[in-house]
Amino acid sequence: MRRRMGFTLIELLVVIAIIAILAAILFPVFARAREKARQTTCQSNLKQLGLAILMYTDDYEGAMPLWSLVGGDTQGNGRLPGPPYTWDEQIQAYSRNKSLLICPSNPFGRDKRSYSLPRYVSGIALDMPYNASNVVMLFEKGSYPPFSWEDATAENFKQSTANASNPNESTFHNGGKNFCFLDGHVKFYAKTAGPFAVVTRAGVEPGTCEYPGAAPSGDWPAE
């Protein structure tokens, strides 16, 4: 009689161990590749939003949109009554695509606006800055829906931290964020090297809140 051969238990365990090791090696590589693709999508969003803002300035005598047409109250308790008419709503006639406002890696959800317009470029003349290629037009921040007053503006790299369960959520892509500049170009920066990533007071790391008297939570001012 011919004896039938099969795998031994030890051989099966060895094969399973090899598969587990390969999976442990490859899964992080796949995750990084997927995140890189999402980062590229985000950069495309910012590029198109930047072009929409530049088209807006052409129709408004070279003036940037205001981050919001409705201000906040004097006590810092939020916006005044009325529609916010934030920058993203003002440029809808030019972008015509609400999905451009959503970064696929936004840790707060796929329904949240992912970009903010810094307060210092709100409503300025486009030819006002000395070097437009170094002035930030938009960058990643957002835990509220599009057209919300909240999170529509920003001043420092690590904003969004106060609403994050994990401090790493303040950086949307592999430890960094995408930035769009006034000349229309888009670039990725790590949290220690990007715009606003400056240590301005003792006891904080690059990109932390610079608002005097506020804890280094990452939001300006603290929410």
Q: Hey, is 101 helix, strand or coil?
A: helix
- Number of folded domains that form the chain: 1
Is residue 68 domain-resident? yes
Which structural domain, as residue segments, surrounds residue 176? Answer: 13-190
Q: Residue 222's pLDDT is what?
A: 37
The strand ranges marked E within 119-191 are: 136-140, 176-181, 186-190
Is residue 210 domain-resident? no
Is residue 206 domain-resident? no
Is residue 223 domain-resident? no
- Which one-letter DSSP state was computed for residue 104? T
Is residue 5 domain-resident? no
Asked if the bond preceding 28 is cis, omega within 30° of 0, the reply is no
Q: What is the pTM of this model?
A: 0.76
Count of alpha carbons within 13 Å of 27, Cβ hemisphere only? Answer: 6
Is residue 216 domain-resident? no
Express each pLDDT in 94-108 by its tens digit: 998 899 999 998 888
Is residue 28 domain-resident? yes
Number of Cβ within 10 Å of residue 98's Cβ equals 14
Is residue 143 domain-resident? yes
Q: Residue 220's pLDDT is what?
A: 40
